Each structure stands twice: as structure tokens, then as C-alpha cells.
């Protein structure tokens, strides 16, 4: 197996309240790998721990180890030599609700690239078009790049957020319920896109929809009440009744 993320004895707490305790998890390259479980068990916290976004929240304490395969080499996410800003460029994240910047479609990608990487206008333009094409958005916005990003539909905004992450050429993409705020048609479009992107990126996806998890998952894990994860075998992935039974047993 080709591992891309190794989580070892990970514990995360906020203001003394433990959310994850001694969690161990191995994520394979590609995927998508889908993480499911009841609300409030720490799925989003686990996702944010991979690229250290929990540190943006007050009173967070993280212990344990997260190793990531980036550019063919293993990187210690919490190692003293790791620059957090560089880590987050290589491990991008897309959230539940599209968080477009209150600027034009074009500047939603150009501004982060300019500020974080200091790229030239020509380099930014090339990356922007490539990312929008990867996100299946270029044909829809190429004639309205100067329009406010808020004028896009919900599905388009979510693909713009995905394109913004892709523009940094990441190795890993973390997606926290990326279709929860979208209608059925837009959600299925995002699902199809993720299946395509999994051939080029490692995808770790949190989902609350069991049907969506079955459509997306090459690998699936269930976050249990005790804070540990349980791998779902491939036979159960293809059998809805068996998967529902497994979910009931785990909870």
C-alpha cells in the first residue's frame, strides 16, 4: 500500500475539553478516502489537525504525530523544522460553505498566489487558468473573471474555492463536507470532480451522507464514539445494507 498520511496517537483538546484521544489512522495516496461518523465526534477536528488549522482556534492543544508524504518525502506536520504556512500550501482545505473572498473571480485566485508565493502576473495567470480548468470552471467563468465572486452560483463558488487550493499545486486535499450547502445537481457535479481529481491528488473527505460516501469512497473510515476509527472493508462499501449494519454496530 502507498501511504500518504500517517496519524499516530493524536489527541486534540480545546480549553481542556478533549475531542480526539490517542487516534491512529493511515490514509492511502489517491482515494478518495471518506471519513464518516456522528456529528460532534471530531471529524472536522481530525481534518484540521492534518494541516494544523486547529492552531487558528483558541486554547487548542495537540499531541501525537502526523506525518505526510509531500513531494515524495515524509514531512512531520508538527516537527520543529516545519513551516506552517508552507505546510498549508501543500495540504489544501475546502470547507463546508464556500468561503470566496469579496473580490472578483480572478482575484480570488490571484491574491493568495501573489501574497503567499510572490508570483509574477504571467505565472499567476497561467496557474489561474490551469486551476479553473481542473475545477471544471474555466468555461463558465472565462468571460466573467472580473465579476464579483459572490455572483457565482453555490456550486460555482465551491469549485472556485477548490480551484484556489489547486492553484498552489498541493499534494493533499482535505474536504470538509464540500457539498453540504449545495443542491443535488451541484453536489453530484462536485462528487464527479473529486473522483477525477483523485487520480492526481490524495483526497481526504468528511461526509455526513452515507449514500455520498458509498459513491465516493475508495477507502472509508468510521469515527467511533470512543474517538478511534474503524476501517470499512471493500465488501461492505458495495453493500448498503451491510454498511448500515456496520454503522449501527459501531454506534
Cα gap 93→165, rounded to integer Å: 7
Specify the CATH number for the domain of residue 161.
3.40.50.300
Containing structural domain, residue 164: 3-250
Cα gap 96→154, rounded to integer Å: 11
What confidence category does residue 240 fall into, taking pLDDT thresholds of 50, 70 and 90? low
Give the end-to-end CA distance of the chain in Å, rounded to a whole number. Answer: 29
Whether 251 shows a pLDDT value over 70: the answer reads no
What confidence category does residue 107 fall into, taking pLDDT thresholds of 50, 70 and 90? very high
In the block, cell 492553484 appears at 167
Cα gap 190→180, rounded to integer Å: 11
Q: What is the mean pLDDT of residues 209-231?
A: 88
Grid coordinates given for 99: 468561503
Which pLDDT score, from 0 to 100, does residue 246 have? 64
Tally of domains in the chain: 1
- Quick: pLDDT tens for 56-88: 999 999 999 999 999 999 999 999 999 999 999
Cα gap 182→178, rounded to integer Å: 8
Amino acid at each position: 500500500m502507498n501511504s500518504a498520511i500517517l496519524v499516530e496517537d493524536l489527541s486534540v483538546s480545546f480549553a481542556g475539553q478533549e475531542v480526539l484521544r490517542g487516534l491512529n489512522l493511515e490514509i492511502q495516496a489517491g482515494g478518495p478516502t471518506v471519513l464518516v461518523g456522528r456529528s460532534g465526534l471530531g471529524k472536522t477536528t481530525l481534518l484540521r489537525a492534518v494541516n494544523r488549522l486547529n492552531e487558528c482556534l483558541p486554547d487548542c492543544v495537540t499531541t501525537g504525530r502526523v506525518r505526510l508524504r509531500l513531494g515524495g518525502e515524509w514531512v512531520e506536520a508538527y516537527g520543529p523544522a516545519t513551516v506552517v504556512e508552507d505546510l498549508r500550501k501543500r495540504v489544501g482545505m475546502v470547507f463546508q460553505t464556500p468561503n470566496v473572498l469579496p473580490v472578483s473571480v480572478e482575484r480570488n485566485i490571484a491574491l493568495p498566489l501573489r501574497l503567499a508565493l510572490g508570483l509574477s502576473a504571467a505565472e499567476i495567470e497561467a496557474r489561474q487558468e490551469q486551476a479553473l480548468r481542473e475545477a471544471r470552471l474555466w468555461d463558465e467563468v472565462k468571460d466573467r473573471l472580473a465579476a464579483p465572486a459572490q455572483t457565482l452560483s453555490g456550486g460555482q463558488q465551491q469549485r472556485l474555492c477548490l480551484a484556489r487550493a489547486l492553484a498552489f499545486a498541493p499534494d493533499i486535499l482535505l474536504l470538509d463536507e464540500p457539498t453540504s450547502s449545495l443542491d443535488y445537481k451541484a453536489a453530484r457535479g462536485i462528487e464527479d470532480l473529486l473522483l477525477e481529481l483523485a487520480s492526481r491528488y490524495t483526497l481526504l473527505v468528511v461526509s455526513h451522507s452515507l449514500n455520498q460516501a458509498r459513491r465516493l469512497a475508495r477507502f472509508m473510515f468510521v469515527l467511533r464514539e470512543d474517538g478511534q476509527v474503524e476501517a470499512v472493508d471493500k465488501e461492505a462499501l458495495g453493500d448498503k445494507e451491510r454498511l448500515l449494519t456496520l454503522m449501527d454496530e459501531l454506534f
